[in-house]
Amino acid sequence: MNVNEAGILSSDPGLRPLELAYVDSRQLATLLRDGRQSLLGEIHFGRPLRVLDQVAHPHAVVGMPQLGGSPRAEVWTSDLPVTYQRHGNLAIAHNREVLFGTITCPDGGTDQFEWFIRDSYSRVLSVLRTEGYPYPLRMWNYFPGIADMIDGLDLYQVFCRGRFQALETHYGQFEGRLPSASAVGSVDGGPAIYFIAAREPGRNRENPRQTSAYHYPTKYGPRSPSFARATFKRWGTARGCLYISGTASIVGHESMHPDDPAAQLDETLRNLRVLIDGAQREEGANFHGFDSISHLKIYIRDPAHFELISSRLAPELSPQIPQLYLTAEICRRDLLLEIEAVVQERS
């Protein structure tokens, strides 16, 4: 750690404020034992890889069973020292550059779900402001029963309305301030929200093949989904990272290729490629297409499609790219899969 005589962190560009890893239980134990990196947050999918009762840092267990390979957890770490705080069910960790947080609700019920979302988002936005990390870059939203109907809306549409209201109350006009996001249905357990925010803004990216989600027509719900297609962030002067939202087989605003998982995968990959190439051209990122993907999460509605999807995706990617396949409910009934990615310049 680089600390000068005044105890102030030097701005060594070699220090990494935010690192991501998908680790199996042995790698997780090693990481916890050697203590070289501080934990920002720890997200488990399906069965947790360890007992989390005594854990002080932000963490969540998401009810999305993993497919293929040995189960892994998503771990966010930092080379910088981290401070932890808790505000009820909102846990945060920050290191003067980045803030990582979770909101969990173990009791699960979707009663008053819209209130829960609005309240969660307003608390997150106000904590980010008071702690001095006012720019949310990336948010994950996982909740069970995403297709359940309440008063003529499905739960995803209710989620979108609650999120929209909180953003509007906090920011007023919010379009330029939206983080990238995923909003995906878990198959059991309670809702979990987690997020990354920074002291300095990232740059929002859209996809020219797709209508911006915040401009979707009202046939998808009374309030549009509020997220950017991707966020580009240069941490200090160092590595540029592109955080790509959950991306599906959507062109314009319409779902494409219903009932055809292979064609949905191909369409989704076209969308991902356009986002990566766009950031390379317009943000000056040193990306090399899919070779620059550092992490990939693939949400699959029907586990029976796993073989087909994974065997079709594998040849597109270098084999060492960490991937997490999760069983999940996608927010539109006609979508069979969704993929999110982190893309990074090589350090």
For the bound state, the minimum distance from the C-beta of residue 205 to ligand 3EB, rounded and expressed in Å, comes to: 13
Catalytic residue among 74, 97, 338, 340: 338
Using DSSP, state whether 176 is helix, strand or coil: helix
Spatial distance between the Cα atoms of 244 and 296, rounded to a whole number of angstroms:
10
Instruction: Respond yes or no: is residue 338 known to be catalytic.
Output: yes
The one among 28, 248, 285, 343 contacting ligand 3EB by CB under 6 A: 248
Give the span between the Cα atoms of 1 and 24, in whole angstroms.
26
**Which window, 5-13, 84-92, 177-185, 262-270, contacts ligand 3EB (CB under 6 A)?**
177-185
Q: Which of residues 38-77 bind ligand 3EB (CB under 6 A)?
A: none
How would you write 281-311 as a 3-class SS string? Answer: HHCCCCCCHHHHEEEEEEEECCHHHHHHHHH
Contact 337, 305 (CB under 8 A): yes
Q: Does 244 bind ligand 3EB (CB under 6 A)?
A: no
> Of the two residues 16 and 233, which places its CB atom closer to ligand 3EB in the complex?
233
Those residues whose C-beta lies under 8 Å from the C-beta of residue 288, and which sit 6 or more positions away, are none
Q: Which residues pair with 339 in a beta bridge?
A: 247, 298
Q: In this chain, which of 18, 331, 336, 339 binds ligand 3EB, going by CB under 6 A?
A: 331
Q: What are phi and psi of 275, to 5 degrees?
A: -65, -40
Q: Which of 140, 170, 145 is nearest to 156 (CA)?
A: 145
Cα-only R_g, the chain: 19
182 binds ligand 3EB (CB under 6 A): yes
User: Could you give the CA distance from residue 271 to residue 208 in angstroms, rounded to a whole number?
Assistant: 9
Residue 207 interacts with ligand 3EB (CB under 6 A): yes or no: no
CB 110 to ligand 3EB: min, Å: 17
Distance of closest approach, residue 250 Cβ to ligand 3EB, in angstroms: 5
Is 23 a binder of ligand 3EB (CB under 6 A)? Answer: no
Judged by CB under 6 A, the number of residues near ligand 3EB is 12
Does the footprint of ligand 3EB cover residue 250 (CB under 6 A)?
yes
- 49-57, 71-79, 178-186, 275-283 -> range binding ligand 3EB (CB under 6 A): 178-186
DSSP H or E run through 242: strand 240-247
181 binds ligand 3EB (CB under 6 A): yes
Buried b (16+ CB within 10 A) or exposed e, 157-168: bbbbbbbbbbbe
Query: Does 158 contact ligand 3EB by CB under 6 A?
Result: no
* Choice between 78 and 182, CB closer to ligand 3EB: 182
Residue with tokens 């069979």: 336
- State how far the Cα of 153 lies from the Cα of 122, in Å rounded to an integer: 22
Phi/psi for 140 (5° steps) reads -115, 135
Among 62, 167, 213, 298, contact with ligand 3EB (rule: CB under 6 A) = 213
Tell me the window of 111-119, 179-187, 289-297, 317-325 that interacts with ligand 3EB (CB under 6 A).
179-187
- Active-site positions read 338
Tell me which residues touch ligand 3EB (CB under 6 A). 141, 181-183, 213, 225, 227, 245-246, 248, 250, 331
